[in-house]
Chain A
């Protein structure tokens, strides 16, 4: 198989403004990936499948990754005019102060595809696409019209991550039920609270279990009190 640079060169030769970027992979596996621009992704995919030398006709794996928003803190030198009282007279002077500025780098959702070739028996070629952000602009072009094996896998990415694939023939939830509203594989998903009972609970699970148990204990003691009060009354009445 050609190296990743040669593949990028072939794509650039065939589709001039494809906007393909190499994402290097620092691990010993050596599986570098190509980051595609969503606007040209379908064209590039068709080229990868139909090119005589590359001939990537087998889409093996399609998966989603969640990169949440990161809070980045950086120290910045800021020059500001400051008014001070010097010997009873107001003066303005310039002061240089180091400030820590925090800003949020928007995260994104990513779809990663692994391509192989059954004809030439080579691979893998890793291809990625990123959404603009995690909240409202979460659509990507679907590669199902090109490789049918993406059909169920893109439905799963939609179900668990929330990426909307335009051009998918039947985009609906596949693993969770239809009325479910969350996207469980996201990093900020909160699980439903049904850990009422844990025999060896610790840390936050213990805190949650105790919160439930205090409700039950209160209900039980209220029942017991009502029962003893009822008995006392009948006893007193007798």
Chain B
């Protein structure tokens, strides 16, 4: 693990005096708090999300998030149907990264039953998860730039690569987005050598895209002026509030589940974990950019070493799947943070309790702390840098 903080300090400009003011109303203005509801229908709230802001002019004095506009009772549905039937519903949780959600659920059930996974399936899982991480981070940066006013041009660049990756997903799993590909004990279908060659070709061309994307955005004046020093998150608060993912690592805390939990076969790959120094929006932007490069490194290694063999454990029980009584909590490093599934089994084909630990909901705990004292325009950027998906927040 190397700290790549020096790269992130590139080009920092000094802020003027008295720039970050405390969230206290100016004297004489008490009683004139402007209460604004931002959302649920808003061009930059990444979905149906509402924030009740109390403003003094442009400064945020209080921010209360409101959820539930996409609450589709995923957990109650999980109790009513069998374990495998819930797999397509996990696609719809974080709908930008369906394959990561599938893997997290499969991991939790495999912990519950003690199921082993064949090696080729593990490699395929890593390849698909890292491709998902790549297109998620590219899209997240694209959406952040759109919130900043770029009117969709960086988003077009990101979605150009995303379409190529979705083509690969469609060829392998049958669907562009809701892939429903992982199973308890492996993957659903095997990848043909032609698919692996196509993936290698795509991955060989992606570093050029990341170079172009980064060079266009990294030292953009408007980006730097609007994101440096904005929405600072201190590491102690981040750890106490249960923040995970790029949001945590941009504050300087080195906690990446791929290195901590050693799940899957991530131990075999050589990759670094980018950390930030200041914990502001610019750091999160750079951490995501650097994580895209690390994903490409993992992809190159995995595609080179993938072995042959079955993709599904031949002794895995599919019909009459009744795990023993007990419970398990399985988690992975999804592109948004720690995605965990908590399952309680009572010996029947349906789970007794099926719980999703949503990274986006818990990352929003500190939204108020990050936004106090900033302008309303900064709130939009801070929300964009947290990178939430409402399907996961509300489930």
- The answer on direct contact between A and B (beta carbons under 8 Å) is yes
Residues of A within 8 A of B (CB): 25-29, 31, 57-61, 63, 65, 112, 114, 118, 121, 124, 126, 147-153, 173-177, 184-185
Q: Name the one of A31, A59, A147 contacting B327, with C-beta atoms under 8 angstroms.
A: A31
Q: Tell me whether A175 and B112 are in contact (CB under 8 A).
A: no
User: When the two chains form the complex, which single residue of A57, A61, A147, A176 contacts B71, counting CB atoms closer than 8 Å?
Assistant: A176
Contact B362 A149 (CB under 8 A): yes
CB of B111 within 8 A of CB of A148, answer no
B200 part of interface (Cβ distance < 8 Å): no
Pairwise interchain contact A29-B240, C-beta atoms closer than 8 A:
no
Closest 6 A/B residue pairs (Cβ): A27-B326, A149-B242, A28-B114, A29-B328, A175-B68, A148-B241
What number of B residues sit within 8 Å (CB to CB) of A?
43
Cβ contacts under 8 Å, B326 to chain A: 25-29
B240→A27 contact, CB < 8 A: no
Inside 8 A of A25's CB, which chain B residues have their CB? 326-327
B residues apposed to A, CB below 8 Å: 67-68, 71, 73, 75-76, 111-114, 237, 239-244, 253, 255, 260, 323-329, 331, 338, 340, 342, 344-345, 352-353, 355, 357, 361-362, 364-366, 394
The residue on B at minimum CB distance from A170 is B64
Cα distance, A27 to B260, chains bound together (Å): 23
If A61-B355, A114-B342 touch, whether A31 touches B328 (CB-CB below 8 Å) is yes
Residues of B within 8 A of A126 (CB): 327, 329
In the complex the two chains form, is B240's CB within 8 Å of A63's CB? no
Nearest-neighbour CB distance to chain B for A160, whole angstroms, equals: 8
Listed A/B pairs (10) with beta-carbon separation below 8 Å: A28-B111, A60-B242, A60-B331, A65-B352, A118-B253, A118-B255, A126-B329, A151-B365, A175-B71, A184-B73
**Whole-angstrom CA separation of A58 from B241 in the bound complex:** 8
Main DSSP-derived SS at the B contact region: mixed
List, in ascending order, chain B residues with CB within 8 A of A150's CB. Answer: 242
Give A63 to B243 CA distance when docked, in angstroms: 17
- Specify the chain B residue showing the minimal Cβ separation from A24: B326
Chain A residues with CB under 8 A of B324: 26-28
Contacts A61-B355, A65-B344, A175-B394 given; does A149 touch B329 at CB 8 Å: no
- Note all chain A residues with C-beta closer than 8 A to B114: 27-29
- Assuming A27-B111, A114-B357, what are 8 further A-B pairs, CB within 8 angstroms? A26-B325, A28-B324, A60-B244, A60-B338, A60-B340, A61-B357, A147-B240, A175-B68
Q: Are B357 and A60 in contact (CB under 8 A)?
A: yes
Residue in A57, A118, A124 with the greatest tally of chain B CB atoms within 10 Å: A118
**Contact A152:B111 (CB < 8 A) given known A31-B327, A184-B73:** no
Report the separation of the CA atoms of residues A152 and B241 in the bound assembly, to the nearest whole angstrom. 10
Question: Considering the chains assembled together, what is the distance between the CA atoms of A147 and B242 in angstroms?
Answer: 8
- Shortest CB-to-CB span from A89 to chain B, Å, is 57
Instruction: Let me know if B340 and A114 touch, CB within 8 A.
Output: yes
Of the residues A59, A112, A148, contact of B342 by C-beta under 8 Å: A112
